[in-house]
Amino acid sequence: MRVLILGGDGYLGWPTAMYLSRRGHAVALLDNFVKRRWEAETGGRPLIDVPKLPDRVRAWSRISGRDIAHYDVDLCDYASVVRVLADTAPDVIVHYAEQPSAPFSMIDVHHAAATQSNNVIGTLNLLWALRDHRPSTHLVKLGTMGQYGTPNIDIEEGFLEIRHNNRTDRLPFPCQPGSFYHLSKVHDSHNVRFACAAWGLAATDLNQGVVYGIETDETKLDPALSTSFHYDAVFGTVLNRFCVQAILGTPLTVYGRGGQKRGFINIRDTLRCVELALLNPAPAGEYRVFNQFTEVFGVAELAETVVHSATRLDIRSRIDHLPNPRVEREDHYYNPVGSGLTALGLEPHLLSQELVGSMLRNIGAHTDSIDRAAILPVTNWRRELPATPLLARG
């Protein structure tokens, strides 16, 4: 297939490009590199220096013998999006090109507005470009499990059968997003669903859990093919932070009591899920949703798992609890359904298999590159400060 990957310079975009290219697809990338500028602004330098995209593309061509086209284009520039669609004529578009951080979106009004403008307007431009120029292209958009929140019912895959006053209907699952970033993803989903209904577009929304993993089969081929690994308080994930803290021998910082539950997925499984969505496209006019996760952990449980895994490397670590900077329920019911991708053939990797064999060992090899000041939280969801102030950068 001809595949256009939006956000092709990112943590997921670049590994997806190599994964699909290696399997014979014709791959093109679009990115305006604003994520790198946001990282520099917030001090979120990746653990391992990531080569610039043109350098990685050249390295991939040398190693694999396959070429990948790339475009320096902003999705918020509609005319440029149309030109890229004309150049690439994609059968499938994989859409990662969004600001991905909840803490970033909660820094202040400017970061909240930048998040929603980038994410919502960029996707809206894409939908109109598809309508007018590539209506048969299958859109695979990365959503987030976080847009559901933590309802006291099972989380279905995108839709819920409702019975009210003796009538029934199948309606979008009610969302309770926890940040302006998560809200932007809800807006995206509504816009994509409407475009499918109104214009006959075909779209798959992959509502993904927290992704972990520092390498894939392709990134391991050469250091020039590496992808980013963030552990900072703005762009890093909770698991990445815990792993880095364990390697440093500093306490693992659990926010609040640590009862918050989330879905998790290995980066290799993310690539496979995207491939399954490509190979089994939604029909014209259909908006479908897959919940993309393989395991569920509470935050405190996750910290204990990291501590236990670290002991296998003779690393002793412990857990501390910080005031929770987020507004979220810390003890709650959480039972998401994730059968759609499994039915298509997903065979999950498990966290217990990944921690020691890949993540902790790789982080340990780059200990000197860790910025300790970047780990602790700097963004507060609340108007009032907690009783114990959060530690600030610098």
Catalytic residues: 144, 181, 185
Residue ranges of alpha helices (H) inside the chain are: 13-22, 34-42, 53-64, 78-88, 102-105, 109-116, 122-133, 180-199, 238-248, 267-279, 299-311, 340-344, 351-354, 361-364
DSSP state of 274: H
The amino acid occupying position 253 is T
Contacts of 42 (CB under 8 A, 6+ apart): 104, 107, 232, 234, 235
Give the residue among 171, 205, 210, 199 at the shortest CA–CA distance from 185: 205
Burial of 275 (0-12, 13-18, 19+ CB in 10 A): buried
How far is 153 from 339, CA to CA, in rounded Å?
Answer: 17
Across 189-201, b (16+ Cβ under 10 Å) vs e yields bebbbebbeeeeb
Give the residue among 226, 360, 351 at the shortest CA–CA distance from 294: 351
Matching residue, tokens 């860790």 = 370
The amino acid occupying position 267 is I
Q: How many CB atoms lie within 10 A of CB 359?
A: 25
CA-based angle 244:261:139, to the nearest 5?
Answer: 90
How far is 370 from 162, CA to CA, in rounded Å?
Answer: 49
Do 246 and 253 form a contact (C-beta atoms < 8 A)? Answer: no
The amino acid occupying position 28 is A
Give the residue among 115, 118, 175 at the shortest CA–CA distance from 379: 115
DSSP state of 227: -
